[in-house]
Amino acid sequence: KQEVTQIPAALSVPEGENLVLNCSFTDSAIYNLQWFRQDPGKGLTSLLLIQSSQREQTSGRLNASLDKSSGRSTLYIAASQPGDSATYLCAVKGMTGGGADGLTFGKGTHLIIQP
Amino acid sequence: NAGVTQTPKFQVLKTGQSMTLQCAQDMNHEYMSWYRQDPGMGLRLIHYSVGAGITDQGEVPNGYNVSRSTTEDFPLRLLSAAPSQTSVYFCASSYSLRGYPFVEYFGPGTRLTVT
């Protein structure tokens, strides 16, 4: 059974710092890995998707990497801003259902950016 | 496009009552799924569908039924609500791109309390 772990569970940093969120998964047979953002009381917003054949994806100040063989992904946030405060979730799409089954999520990293 | 919509936003049920959580998407996505989110547990897959008329169980299907008569709609039925089903429920949809599963879009969630 796939298991996804996110470290740290919580992180508080001053505005302007660069930071890294970590995600690890136990089964490397994945189609893709997605990073989501969730604001309190809200739904999930997809930030980046990395296909299993890719090594990284970038969107603005966000960069996500994937090392499928070691079962690891990182989300790098450059020049953090208070608006980045949210819970960040990592999720993998397994290959057992031909890509049609759902995602396996980590429990998230709760990020606070101090003004 | 409205994206993925869910109704109701909030619901309180008594133990033993039944109800249906509605989910609809207007993006013509073939894949739809239901998750529940509980504190300390993360998001867990309840049921998923790869197209109209086809559904399958996820990680925590007990106590829930689904059907998919159209591409757009994927309702989740609670047959006899229990306090353990108190949770936030999210519906998601996605598509495949060149045969590979792609980005998942999430609805805003339904917050359910069973007393």
- The answer to whether B44 faces chain A, any CB pair under 8 Å, is yes
Distance CA A91, CA A102 (A): 10
**Mean of per-residue pLDDT scores for chain A:** 94
Distance CA B78, CA A42 (A): 22
The mean per-residue pLDDT over the stretch B7-12 comes to 97
Q: How confident is the model at residue A99 (pLDDT cuts 50, 70, 90)?
A: low
A37-50 tens-digit pLDDT: 999 988 999 999 99
Distance CA B77, CA A16 (A): 46
B20-31 tens-digit pLDDT: 999 999 999 999
Distance CA A4, CA A19 (A): 20
Residues A108 and A7 sit within 8 Å (Cβ to Cβ): no
**Cβ neighbour number for residue A38 with a 10 Å cutoff:** 20
What residues of chain A lie within 8 A of the CB of B108, using their CB? 42-43
* Least reliable range by pLDDT among A84-98, A101-115, B32-46: A84-98
Q: How confident is the model at residue A100 (pLDDT cuts 50, 70, 90)?
A: low
Q: Which two tokens stand for residue A16?
A: 């302007």
Say yes or no for a CB contact (<8 Å) between B58 and A46. Answer: no
- For position A97, what pLDDT does the model report? 63
A54-72 tens-digit pLDDT: 999 999 999 999 999 999 9
Q: How confident is the model at residue A113 (pLDDT cuts 50, 70, 90)?
A: very high
Q: Residue B76: pLDDT above 80?
A: yes
Going through B2-114 in order, the beta strands assigned E by DSSP cover: 4-7, 10-13, 19-25, 31-38, 42-51, 54-57, 64-66, 76-78, 87-97, 100-106, 110-114
Task: Out of B48, B90, B101, name the one closest to residue A44 (CB).
Answer: B90
CA-angle at B26, arms to B21 and B29, nearest 5°: 90
Task: Out of A97, A101, A108, name the one closest to residue B42 (CB).
Answer: A108
Task: Out of A49, A101, A102, name the one closest to residue B103 (CB).
Answer: A49
- For position B2, what pLDDT does the model report? 83
B10-64 tens-digit pLDDT: 999 999 999 999 999 999 999 999 999 998 888 999 999 988 999 999 999 999 9
Q: What percent of chain A has pLDDT over 90?
A: 87
Distance CA B36, CA B42 (A): 8
Distance CA A67, CA B38 (A): 29
A47, A103, A104, A109: best to mutate for the B interface, most B CBs within 10 A: A103
User: Measured in whole angstroms, how far is the alpha carbon of residue A29 from the centre of its chain?
Assistant: 17
- The answer to whether B89 faces chain A, any CB pair under 8 Å, is no
Residues A72 and A90 sit within 8 Å (Cβ to Cβ): no
Q: Which residue has the higher pLDDT, A98 or B106?
A: B106
Q: Strand A56-59 relative to strand A44-51: parallel, antiparallel, unpaired? A: unpaired
Q: How confident is the model at residue B106 (pLDDT cuts 50, 70, 90)?
A: very high
Please report the number of interchain residue pairs, chain A to chain B, with beta-carbon separation below 8 angstroms: 69
